[in-house]
């Protein structure tokens, strides 16, 4: 009988604390991808994770490294303070769409504009999860939430915000990508972007953000497979996936020319 080898062991950068996320939620996938990247880059001992307010409020219990809890929306400001004291540290915030795109919009925009050299993992599931399903700035038109019970309409609540496209107007943003945590193929692509974002930070190239389209079966009122289909069939149409900005590639490309 062939000897079995574990080709994908549990990441060193994740604790073994039982996560509080709902069954089927993709936060666990996102955590794992970030942890694998940190392990692969060998930077755990100089990384500071910034947990924010939302479902991922306990991220500091799951990421096995120095960590700080930030107030709602202020993760990028806290990251700025840490990074300006320890430029040799690796800093990332882990923010949901309420934290980043609603209350924290000023902080993320200005951090990007200042080319702050840290990384943001942005979970976009188009809903406020922890507070039980209210409308987010990224909630799609027509989407029902507990505060848009008849579906989001433009006269009532305006349009959903596309963060990557918005930040892509800023010269300080060095890496911007949107990925979807749906199929194995897309999840591998998400990991590549997360790694690229951290490499951008390690190169000192400036601000990096990876937006991850994520499911929220609980507050979408769907089972997991329906929720994955919803991203594939509906969300990606409004939030196209791909790399919007890759300053490192440009520099590398320039080097080879």
Give which of 95, 127, 98, 97 is closest to 217, Cα–Cα: 127
Tokens of 226: 């329906």
> 82 is written with which tokens?
């840490």
Taking a C-beta distance cutoff of 8 angstroms, is the pair 119, 80 a contact? no
Q: What is the CA radius of gyration of the chain?
A: 18
Q: Does 82 bind other proteins (CB under 8 A)?
A: yes
Task: Please identify, among the stretches 29-37, 104-112, 143-151, 193-201, the one whose residues bind other proteins according to the rule CB under 8 A.
Answer: 104-112
8 A C-beta contact, residue 91 and residue 121:
no
Provide the Cα torsion 137, 37, 90, 113; round to 10°: -40
Q: Which is nearer to other proteins, 51 or 164 (CB)?
A: 51
Nearer of residues 60 and 239 to other proteins, judged by Cβ: 60
Residues 32-51 as x/- pattern, contact with other proteins by CB under 8 A: -------------xx-x---
Neighbours of 247 (CB within 10 A): 20
Stretch that binds other proteins, among 78-86, 133-141, 171-179, 196-204 (CB under 8 A): 78-86
Residue nearer to other proteins on the CB measure, 109 or 140: 109
Choosing from 52, 89, 119, 138, the residue that interacts with other proteins (CB under 8 A) is 89
| Contact flag: residue 60 with other proteins (CB under 8 A) | yes
Residues that bind other proteins (CB under 8 A): 45-46, 48, 57-58, 60, 64-71, 74, 77-86, 88-89, 106-107, 109-110
């Amino acid at each position: 009988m062939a000897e079995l080898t574990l080709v994908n062991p549990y990441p060193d950068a994740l604790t073994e604390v039982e996560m509080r996320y709902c069954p089927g939620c993709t936060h666990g996938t996102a955590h794992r991808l970030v942890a694998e990247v940190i392990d692969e880059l060998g930077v755990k001992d100089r990384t500071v994770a910034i947990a924010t307010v939302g479902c991922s409020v306990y991220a500091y219990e799951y990421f096995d490294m120095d960590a700080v809890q930030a107030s709602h929306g202020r993760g990028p400001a806290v990251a700025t303070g840490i990074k300006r004291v320890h430029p040799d540290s690796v800093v990332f915030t882990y923010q949901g769409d309420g934290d980043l795109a609603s209350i924290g919009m000023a902080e993320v925009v200005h951090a990007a504009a200042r080319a702050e050299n840290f990384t943001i993992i942005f979970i976009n599931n188009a809903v406020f999860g922890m507070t039980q399903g209210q409308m987010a700035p990224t909630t799609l038109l027509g989407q029902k939430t507990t505060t848009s019970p008849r579906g989001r309409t433009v006269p009532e609540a305006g349009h959903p915000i596309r963060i990557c496209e918005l930040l892509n107007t800023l010269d300080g943003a060095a890496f911007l990508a949107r990925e979807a945590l749906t199929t194995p193929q897309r999840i591998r692509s998400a990991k590549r972007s997360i790694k690229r974002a951290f490499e951008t930070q390690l190169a000192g190239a400036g601000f990096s953000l990876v937006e991850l389209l994520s499911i929220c079966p609980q507050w979408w009122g769907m089972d997991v497979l329906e929720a994955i289909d919803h991203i594939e069939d509906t969300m990606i149409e409004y939030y196209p996936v791909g790399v919007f900005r890759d300053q490192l590639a440009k520099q590398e490309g320039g080097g080879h020319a």
